[in-house]
Amino acid sequence: MQTVRALGTDVLDLFRRQGELSRIDVIEASGLSRSTVNQRLTLLLDAGLILPTGGGESTGGRPSSKFRFNTERACILAADIGASGFTAAVCDLDGRPLTTTSRTIEVAEGPEAVLAAVVGAFEELAPELEVWGIGIGVPGPVEFAARRVVNPPIMSGWDRFDIAGWFAPHYDAPVVVENDANARAIAEARSLGLDNVIALKLGSGVGAGLVSNGQLIRGDKGAAGDIGHTRSVTRDAEARLCRCGNLDCVEAYAGGWALRRDLERVGIATSSTSDVVALLERGDEVALARVRAAGRTLGDAVATLVGVFNPRAVVVSGRLAESGEVLFSGIRERVYQQAAPLLTGDLVIAKTTLGDEAGVIGLALETIDTVFSGEEVAAPRAVVAVG
């Protein structure tokens, strides 16, 4: 790992972004001298981070070849924790999940119980590759530099819990902690090759991750994009209590938990957001009406974000994203009504193509970026020593 950081990342980044490259390609793309490039390539080859692929140019009588990033030099473990369960994955160094597993557990059970289940899942996945980093996604605001959750509305017991330190006895690798919607925004932006993307996560709660001009927007306290707890534009005559304690939040109308509460009031029992989606599939009129209204509420909130950030795509993931057109038509209706034509002309509003893995992909990508950035990411052991 030390070697990796000492290499500098310019040449490695070229391989990560552009795929297979010859020596000449690297010289041209990097602007570095031939001798510097040769030196970097040798270091990267020695570190096992690039592999020769053959078939490249031959210069000066010396057989040469192309090289590619060795995505299976090591792996990243990622866990995308939601309100009522998580997906864990072993990912390669390109963020691709190699193996995944899911567990049902309430995040409100607290960090000890949930993280123990995450470690259990990682152990079951039994990565064969060296673990170079761990990415943990949580459904709450994250102080990224400190790798802690701060003032989470729904994660009782998690406030400022030392997540990285908790992994220290289990793994000697840097830990990245990120908000779940932010991780999805990274995954969607990379997957689409776009610099301006809003990733909407619709599960029990409502969250949004923002990538603007290629940069993830976290905000001052890690709570940027938390549209679930902004005030809903359309409101019932009687104020709705949100689980954060405020009244009339977007989530109180459009979160999976709120939809379940509404259905329960008219005698329809559900045990998860997936049950709500199942009702839609069966054509349940009450559920269809509620989800259509939820789509409009979400559309109002998204329209504001579209006005501020001018994204190229709004990508929706999470359990409720499975609702289909009944949800999406409401979102689109309000966004196209409210945002200026210049903002909506090329705007795409669509379900993710990454499925349930959007979260772990984003977490893995962010962890890899952090590992290769050369930034000082203290290993968990060091955090414990300080704390």
**At its nearest, how many Å lie between Zn ion and the CB of residue 152?**
12
How far is residue 349's CA from residue 90's CA, in Å, rounded to a whole number? 30
244 sits near Zn ion (criterion: CB under 5 A):
yes
At a CB cut-off of 8 Å and minimum separation 6, what does 341 contact? none
Is 334 one of the binding residues for Zn ion (CB under 5 A)? no
Residue 138 beta carbon to Zn ion: minimum distance, rounded to whole angstroms: 17
Q: DSSP assignment of 181-200, as one string?
A: HHHHHHHHHHHHT-SSEEEE
232: Cβ contacts below 8 Å, ≥ 6 apart: 248, 249, 250, 252, 253, 254, 297, 300, 301
DSSP state of 357: G
User: Among residues 43, 88, 90, 242, which is the contact residue for Zn ion, using CB under 5 A?
Assistant: 242
Region near Zn ion per CB under 5 A, out of 191-199, 243-251, 332-340, 375-383: 243-251
Residue 232 DSSP symbol? P
Q: Verify binding: residue 241, Zn ion, rule CB under 5 A.
A: no
**Could you tell me how many residues of this chain bind Zn ion (CB under 5 A)?**
5
For residue 27, state whether it binds Zn ion (rule: CB under 5 A). no
Single out the segment in contact with Zn ion by CB under 5 A; choices: 204-212, 223-231, 291-299, 309-317: 223-231
Q: Which is nearer to Zn ion, 7 or 206 (CB)?
A: 206
Segment interacting with Zn ion, rule: CB under 5 A, options 38-46, 177-185, 226-234, 273-281: 226-234
Residue nearer to Zn ion on the CB measure, 153 or 311: 153
> Which range in 65-73, 234-242, 291-299, 304-312 contacts Zn ion by CB under 5 A?
234-242
3-state secondary structure of 313: strand
> Which residue stretch of 56-64, 224-232, 263-271, 361-369 sits at the interface with Zn ion (rule: CB under 5 A)?
224-232
By beta-carbon proximity to Zn ion, the closer residue of 99 and 246 is: 246
Cβ proximity to Zn ion, 95 vs 255, nearer residue: 255
Closer CB to Zn ion, 65 or 246, in the complex: 246
Nearer to Zn ion, 170 or 240 (CB): 240
To Zn ion, the closest distance from the beta carbon of 258 in angstroms equals: 10
Q: How far apart are CA 289 and CA 296, in angstroms?
A: 11
Q: In terms of CB distance, is 40 or 229 closer to Zn ion?
A: 229
Element (H, E) at 216: strand 215-216
- 249 lines the binding site for Zn ion (CB under 5 A): yes
Stretch that binds Zn ion, among 161-169, 191-199, 235-243, 364-372 (CB under 5 A): 235-243
Interface residue with Zn ion, options 9, 246, 310, 329 (CB under 5 A): 246
Residue nearer to Zn ion on the CB measure, 97 or 228: 228
Helix (H, G, I), strand (E, B) or coil at 377: coil
Task: Kindly tell me which residue out of 40, 184, 218, 229 binds Zn ion, with binding defined by CB under 5 A.
Answer: 229
Site for Zn ion in 254-283 (CB under 5 A): none
Q: What is the DSSP string of 63-112?
A: ---EEEE-TTSSEEEEEEE-SSEEEEEEE-TTS-EEEEEEEE--GGG-HH
User: Is residue 298 classed as helix, strand or coil in its secondary structure?
Assistant: helix
- The CA-based angle 291-277-203, given to 5 degrees, is 80
3-class secondary structure per residue, 112-157: HHHHHHHHHHHHHHCCCCCEEEEEEEECCCEECCCCEECCCCCCCC
Using the rule CB under 5 A, give the single segment among 63-71, 229-237, 279-287, 354-362 that binds Zn ion: 229-237
Least CB distance from residue 207 to Zn ion, whole Å?
Answer: 12
Surface-to-core class of residue 356, CB atoms within 10 Å of its CB (0-12 exposed, 13-18 middle, 19+ buried): middle
Minimum CB distance to Zn ion smaller for 17 or for 231: 231
Task: Say how far apart CA 110 and CA 118 lie, in whole Å.
Answer: 12
206: helix, strand or coil: strand
User: How, if at all, do strands 75-81 and 85-91 pair?
Assistant: antiparallel
Structure tokens at 44: 């990267």
Binding site for Zn ion (CB under 5 A): 229, 242, 244, 246, 249
